[in-house]
Structure 1
Amino acid sequence: MTTVLHTKRLINSSTINHFKEVTIPVPWGKISGKWWGPTNEKPILCIHGFRDNCGSFDKLIPFLSQDRDISFLAIDLPGHGFSSPFPKGMIYNFMNYIILVQQIYEYFSFSKLSLLGHSLGSMISFISTILYPEKVDFLMCIDALHPLQSTVSKETVRNSIDNYMKYNKFTKEPPSYTWEEILDKMNIAYKHSLGKDSTLCLLERNIAVSKEFHGKYYFNSDPMLKVRTMFNWTQEQMIKDAATIANPIFICEAKQNYARKYRKNFYEIVNIVQKHNKDCEFHTISGTHHLHLNEPEKIGILLKKFLNKHNKSETYNLKDFSIFSSPVPSILSAQVVKHKL
């Protein structure tokens, strides 16, 4: 039987980059994403940052695939992009993301995981490797490494509970905005970390057309993501556990990132990994937090060298082609034409 795999063109790219829409079943619904490259080769699992989506890798993956066929599976985390939110009443605990990686590993029966993460996705990849080193080939971490330690106080805990009570009551459509307002809010929220094309890559899966107000859009991420959760892995414990990572690891930081106050802890962990891991690469690259999306070639050149050394092509027998579906119609096309983007 011949299976037809649907592909889609990225409307904001100067080249035609093909991927396949993916839907992975999970107990609470689905995990959506994009499968780039051959389906008969084990993919690199790509995990995006907080409030982003799998469009975060729309520019980097084609660059990495220029010279050789490499498969990538870029997912939308729960409550992000087109993936299902957690059931009403649940909060987004960091460990749920670690469990998700294990669920994907078991669903596809991968021999091992190859991981590429940005920001929160880097933290998920790093902790997944600490906990399950035998299941990981290698990992690549862009502008983050370990989870940020939270200051726990009665004020922060109370604030989290208050936010939970607030956002758990949401039943109506979220606030909607004009196209211009959407762009302004993205720029402010991301602290001007995104270029124009990069913003479009994320908006493709980050907004929906308002059903109540003509010509307006709303952000479709789960409001419960705004509830702050505490991750109690101390810096001392993190240093101890980071020393155990022997898997090949690529780490980079963006020179102009907006999380400078966390750099001291970050460098401590990097130094420990470098000291104990002979296959650790660390690079500081000029650019913002979303450098992989704004200027993929800067980091891409270094990642290509790392992949040439550590990524061994592995034949993969995909058993369920029903995970692929027709492309989701773009809601940005009209705006791209109207504003000549």
Structure 2
Amino acid sequence: MNHPASLRIESPSRSNEQRRLSSLLVSALPWTIIAGLLYAGLFVKPKAVGGSVTPPVLERRDRVYGITHGEGGALLAAASNGKILAIDKGRKITRQATPVDLSLQDIAAFDAMHAVAVGNDNVILYTGDGGRHWAKADNVPRSQVANKLNRVRTGANGMAVAVGEMGALLRSQDYGKTWQRLREEEDLAWNDVAILDGGTFVVVGEFGKILRSEDGGKRWEKQAAPVASSLMATAFRDASNGVAVGLDGIVLTTSDGGRHWTSVKLAAHDHLLDVLWNADKQEWFAVGALGRWISGTQGADGPQWNSGVLGEHTLSWHTRVLAAGSAYWLAGADVGAWDGRQWTPLDSH
């Protein structure tokens, strides 16, 4: 017996209710998403995955302009961004806290505890505890035109002399705490000063300019130089004999305390930026651009000069050289030691 098929017919009112509910859910969906995002943004705090990366104390972009001896055989280095770095005998680097972020152009030590650093905007820092604490000198003389101190040298009894832009020639007699101007400003940059016995100062700067004072900076005399290029550094081995170096490979020598200078002809013409006298090795040593170095040993007719580079692929510039034991430490675009045969850069880590 056949039974008629059972047909299920939706009620029109029920179908309309479902469509209205579906439409309501669809229209509310964007607002639900927005509300969820707002909640996540306001109340859900993301958690970092893994540990944070601490940058090395000496970063690749850092420039180290000055270097000096510190406490216990360590070295102190002045760098960009207000950094002062301590390098121990094991080549471990630590950063000393400073109150500035201006680039420091030079650093010099009075003794194991006292040191002074100078730099951009005429900033001067000093320490009396080996660098554990650095303070900023107040009321440093300034120019209304330009302010940058290029070099600082230390002498006996807490005396220091700093030189720089706009004829800056400043002196401190209390380990760098207070400073006085020794000359009126002028449109000229001084790059280095040698402090000799008896209160004699010899200053070198742009355009081959040389100044000399025999009374601690009260009176100054201009000395003639046989070059017109900028002189970048000078050093003396005693009160009479000195050397000055500069751009284009310039080397000048004096045997009368800086009154008269003679030019030395060398084959290399790379810029020379610093020079020192090494009493232990009885030699002059200078460094500069493109890894260039020169050395001069005393002979019967004056210094006998040699020249070379740190390495075939070592073309960095260096603004400072420091004698340390049997090697020289160089600072500039990078930092490292030269033993006369091999260049060993400082590992930033």
TM-score bracket relative to the smaller structure: under 0.3
Which structure has more strand as a fraction of its residues? 2
Structure showing greater Rg:
2
TM-score after normalising by structure 1? 0.26
